[in-house]
Amino acid sequence: MRRFAVPFAILLLAGAADPALAAKAKPKPEPAWVVAHRDAIVLDTHYDTPALFHLPGWDILDRHSYAVDGSQVDLPRMIDGGVDGGFFAIFTPQGARGIEGNRAARDYALVRATEIHEMVAKHGDKFALALKADDVPKILAAHKRFVFISMENGSPVAGDVSLLQGFYALGLRMAGPVHFLTNDLGDSATDKPEWGGLSPAGKQFVAEANRLGIVLDASHSADSVLDDMLKLSKAPIILSHSGCKAIFDNPRNIDDEHLRALAAHGGVIQINAFSNYMVPTPKIPEREAALGKLIKDIGMTGREMTPEQRKAFLAGKKAIDAKWPVPRANLDDYMKHMLHAIQVAGIDHVGVSGDFDGGGGIDGLESVADYPKITQRLMAAGYSKEDVAKVWGGNALRVLREVEAAKAK
């Protein structure tokens, strides 16, 4: 087994000479959901945790606290949550478009990719880089966590799509074309449309990803981009961290028609735990102004924060939340999105993502340590151990295998 419950060996040895004590020491059967979670390959398709790797004093082997430093993924909490690995993202903020902007994005992404490799190399006894789906069982057999590399926002390759080959050589196995803003590859779900879907370069991006064996990720993309991907891609597509528009109408979520089309193409939606995309969040001008002032005062640039800035931001945001509170999604809300997706797309086309360390986290699902709660909820809803295994890792790894097979053809 890869993960263990509390051992009973000492009690059993002590009871060997006393049958009555031995009977008392006999462990109770584990709940079915505990067994199901332990036996599944548990992965998340979108960790933003690499943004923390360069921070002085931050180490993935240390136990951190969401309340203290805002982080949500580290080895101790992965062990607590029975998490085996996942996709660690090269996230690049969308900057200026054009030659200089494309070069800056490329260089930024290369540094982030290097930091992921450095983390794995530094902790090679605990983590291993995975390059294909079949690497996963081998890594788990060696008692390590697997690390796939993904790319959130394709701006690093927007100026030259052939750069995907270089990132593939560095281990890239999943990539999405856009983030919050429309770029030279296509339209974003949260920005004004410019291309009516994928740009000519975006269509080359799809073809090159198919050729190399990189999973296409349509999270953050406009519906028109997803339509183009479904039309052009010769392999299934993933939404690495998205939700259901039928449960909450937000541009980052997709409607039932697209859910069915995604499933018909063999793809998977990984349900996102980002509160603003799950429940209504009222706009409070005073709150927005206070947050803007806080960011300006501590000198934040994008998501990049020093430990001191992060501490100041968390303290300041806590005060703002107390003065101008807004609703926060919880595990019930999360399961509404998940169960709806399963009902519409089918159990073979749904998975899990917390969007952790990238703004995700809801009440009851603050870090990867809370992931067993999802298994418990799924089985309480009547889903089987086999269903749970599909949702946790089986579906995403099946897509990766199909992408690999399409490349081979």
The counts of H helices and E strands in the chain are 18, 10
3-state secondary structure of 243: strand
Among 188, 90, 339, which residue's Cα sits nearest to residue 352?
339
Return per-residue pLDDT of the chain as tens, 409 residues: 354 343 333 333 344 446 555 556 677 889 999 999 999 999 999 999 999 999 988 999 999 999 888 899 999 999 999 999 999 999 999 999 999 999 999 999 999 999 999 999 999 999 999 999 999 999 999 999 999 999 999 999 999 999 999 999 999 999 999 999 999 999 999 999 999 999 999 999 999 999 999 999 999 999 999 999 999 999 999 999 999 999 999 999 999 999 999 999 999 999 999 999 999 988 888 898 988 888 888 876 656 677 778 778 888 888 988 888 888 999 999 999 999 999 999 999 999 999 999 999 999 999 999 999 999 999 999 999 999 999 999 999 999 999 999 998 7
Strands 237-244 and 268-272: parallel
Q: For each of the domains in the chain, give its residue range(s) and CATH number, in order of start.
A: 42-281+327-408 (3.20.20.140)
3-state secondary structure of 228: helix
Residue type for position 149: I
Place of tokens 């961290």: 241
215-238 CB burial, b ≥16 within 10 A, e <16: bbbbbbbbbbbbbbbbebbebbbb
- pLDDT number for residue 5: 40
Residue 358 backbone phi and psi in degrees, to 5: -130, 20
- The pTM for the full model equals 0.91
Residue type for position 304: E
User: How far is Cα 322 from Cα 11, in angstroms, rounded to an integer?
Assistant: 48
187-194 contacts, C-beta under 8 A, 24 or more apart = 187/221, 187/222, 187/224, 187/225, 188/220, 188/221, 188/222, 189/220, 189/221, 189/222, 189/223, 189/251, 189/252, 190/220, 190/251, 190/252, 193/222, 193/224
3-state secondary structure of 353: strand
User: How far is Cα 384 from Cα 392, in angstroms, rounded to an integer?
Assistant: 12
